[in-house]
Amino acid sequence: MFARQSAGGLMAHVRAVCESTSLAVVLYSRANAKYTPETLVILTDTCPNLIGFEDGVGDLESISTARPARLRDAVPKRNRADFMP
């Protein structure tokens, strides 16, 4: 079993990952790495290559309160045809 990480620890880790690469970064929230809406807003403001967030916990109501505009605008909307051969 893994211990749940603190918000400060998660932010430090994400910042280190984002600073170490020029690639796009997508966060995955899960039971032991749960991002609060406040943490998500701070990270999107400070990590320009953070482009996405996936909720693996099922707490969409909490995360939908943050909805950072930069994440919504970072990835162009695609339709199903874009992914079909």
pLDDT tens profile 21-51: 999 898 888 878 888 888 888 898 899 888 8
Structure tokens of 3? 């211990």
- Which DSSP string corresponds to 64-82? HTT--HHHHHHS----GGG
What is the maximal distance between C-alpha atoms in the chain? 43
Banded pLDDT at 72 (limits 50, 70, 90): low
Residue 25 in 3-state DSSP? strand
DSSP-assigned letters across all residues of 33-48: BPPPHHHHHHHHHH-T
Distance CA 52, CA 74 (A): 8
Residue 59 above 80 pLDDT?
no
More confident residue, 73 or 54: 54
